[in-house]
Amino acid sequence: MIKRLWAKLGLSSSPTAESLSSENIPVHVAIIMDGNGRWAKKRGLPRMAGHHSGMKTVKRITIAADRLGVKYLTLYAFSTENWKRPKAEVDFLMKLPQQFLDIELDELVSNNVQVRMMGSRDNLPPHTINALEEAISKTANNTGLVLNFALNYGSRMEMLDAIRDLAKDVKDGKLAPGDIDEEAMSERLLSSGLPDPDLLIRTSGELRLSNFMLWQLAYSELWFTDVYWPEFTEKHFYEAIGQYQRRARRYGGL
Ligand code: IPE
Ligand code: IPE
Ligand code: MG
């Protein structure tokens, strides 16, 4: 009964990849991976266990996105505000890229995935940067899914840097103030070369952007779930994309 009702509403109780229209897959999906700490707490585990488990979700969702034909997957892994956390947690989080890539890099290479990083390299420990740089260079010529890690990323910092760069070009006479347009701004952001996200997903029930891609998300579809990141599965991902496919994107038009 419920299943039929769901079907009538165009919903499926357990969405599958096959239930999605292959014609309207979002090109760029961005995810605020949130709730690792609460997931761990719920189980009586230390927060670090949640971060560790969250890495498995990264793998799971990367594979699912790739199979669906998503072209860009941006994952918010560490914000410029996350430095406020206790040093032990920050240190642990900074080890995760290396841990993840030690295990997964070969598979990413063979699956034609291109790794990118979006964020400031300042203050990142060498082992974090080195692991990422290795992944970026080893996958630079890959042409499949672009897996973009937002690490030490903050949207306001990113926009201020872009504005400083614009101001400098104006001062140097390379750019007229009247020529500052959306393109001039976009190409100075860390996401330069990537299309704006079509779909933003945030897990863990928080309904905010937490300084993530404020410029780029202007017309993105937003999808929130209460599910914590470590328990986020393909099924939830398909559910988000199914929702996305049922929405009308008007961009202010009719
Ligand atoms: C997301 O999980 C991971 C990062 C922000 C690095 P949290 O660590 O924010 O987990 P909660 O939100 O405290 O549950
Ligand atoms: C956003 O999550 C940052 C990442 C997922 C990396 P937070 O847990 O840091 O966000 P707030 O503090 O709840 O807004
Ligand atoms: Mg959080």
For 84-137, the pLDDT digits (tens) are: 999 999 999 999 999 999 999 999 999 999 999 999 999 999 999 999 999 999
Residue closest to 124 by CA, chosen among 156, 82, 159, 162: 82
Q: Identify the residue whose C-alpha is closest to ligand 2 atom 14.
A: 210
List phi, psi (to 5°) of 223.
-140, 125
Question: For 6-36, how does the pLDDT look when each residue is reduced to its tens digit (9 = 90+)?
Answer: 555 555 567 899 999 999 999 999 999 999 9
CB atoms within 10 A of CB 243: 16
| Spatial distance between the Cα atoms of 210 and 212, rounded to a whole number of angstroms | 6
Instruction: Give, for ligand 1, the residue of 32, 33, 36 to mutate: max count of ligand atoms closer than 8 Å to Cβ.
Output: 36
Residue closest to 199 by CA, chosen among 82, 100, 43, 73: 73
Ligand minimally distant from the alpha carbon of residue 35: 1
| 152 annotated binding-site participant | no
169 is an active site residue: no
- Pocket lined around ligand 2, Cβ cut-off 6 Å: 32-34, 76-79, 82, 206, 208, 210
3-state secondary structure of 200: strand
Question: Does position 147 have pLDDT exceeding 70, yes or no?
Answer: yes
- Amino acid identity for residue 87 in this structure: K
- Cα 240 → chain centroid: 14
- Amino acid identity for residue 216 in this structure: Q
| Spatial distance between the Cα atoms of 185 and 196, rounded to a whole number of angstroms | 13
In this prediction the pTM is: 0.95
Amino acid 15: pLDDT: 85
| 188 annotated binding-site participant | no
Beta bridge partners of 151: 78
Question: Does position 153 have pLDDT exceeding 70, yes or no?
Answer: yes
In the structure encoding, which two tokens stand for residue 225, read together?
């779930």
34 is an active site residue: yes
